[in-house]
Homo-oligomer: A and B are copies of this chain.
Amino acid sequence: MAEPGIFEILYSTRAMRRLKPDPIPEATLKKIVDAGIRAPSGGNAQEWAFILVRNPELKRFIRDYYWNTWQRIVRQEAFSASALPPPQQRMLNAGADLAAHLDEAPVLMLACAHKEYAPVAALNVLRASLLAVHGSIFPAVQNILLACRALGIGATLTTIHSFFEEPLKQRLGVPDTMEIAAMIPMGYPRGKFGPVSRNPVEEVMHWDRWGQQHG
C-alpha cells in the first residue's frame, strides 16, 4: 500500500481526545519517535528524550495531577461552558473528558528537551534561550503527531503537565537539566480523523509589513 500523501496528512491531523485502551505495538511507537527525531533542533544538538509511559500506576499518578490542574484552570478562568460558542464548548468538554480518563490511554508520551540551548544561554537572555529550546522540541512533537495520524493513532498535544512538572520529574527520575515540554496521550481513536477547521489563510498572511494583506 502506498504511504499517505503529505498534504493529506497535514490537513487531517487533528487533536484526538477520545482514545481506546488497546495497546499500541512497540514497533509502531518506535516508528513514531523515529519520525519525531527527523525534525530540526538548534545546532542539530538533538538534546531530546521521549518517555513512553504505559505503567498503569504511573499513568494514574499523572492523571490525578492533570485532572486537578484542569479543574483549577477551568475554575480560575471561570469558564462558563454554557456561555461559550458551541465549538469551544465541545473542545472544553472533550478536554475535561481527556483529563478525567487520561490514564485509559495506552501511552502517555512525554517529550523532553534540554533546558538550555548552550550557545544562547551563554549570552544570558532568558527569552531567547527558551525560544531556542522550545524551537528545538516542538518541531519533533509535530512530526510525532503527523506520524501518529499516518499510522492511525490518535494523539493530542498538551502542556498542562507544566503545572506539576517537578513532582512528575521526580516520580519518573527525569534529570533536572531536562524540561518536559509536552505530554501527548496516544491511542487508537474512538472518533474519526477528518479535516481540521481553521480561519482563512489570507487573514494571517502579511506581506513585508504587519497589516499589509495583499502580496
**Chain A residues near B (Cβ < 8 Å):** 2-11, 13-15, 26, 29-30, 33-35, 37-40, 42-44, 46, 48-55, 58, 72-73, 76-77, 87-88, 91, 119-120, 122-123, 125, 127-128, 130-132, 134-135, 137-139, 141-143, 145-147, 150, 156-157, 159, 162-163, 172-175, 181-182, 196, 198-199, 201, 204-211, 215
Contacts and interface: CB of A to CB of B under 8 A. Distances in A.
A135 B159 contact: yes
B143 A26 contact: no
Contacts of A6: 3-6, 8-9, 146-147, 150
Nearest to A182: B135
Contacts of A91: 43-44
Nearest to A51: B206
Number of copies: 2
A120 B181 CA distance: 15
B199 A46 contact: yes
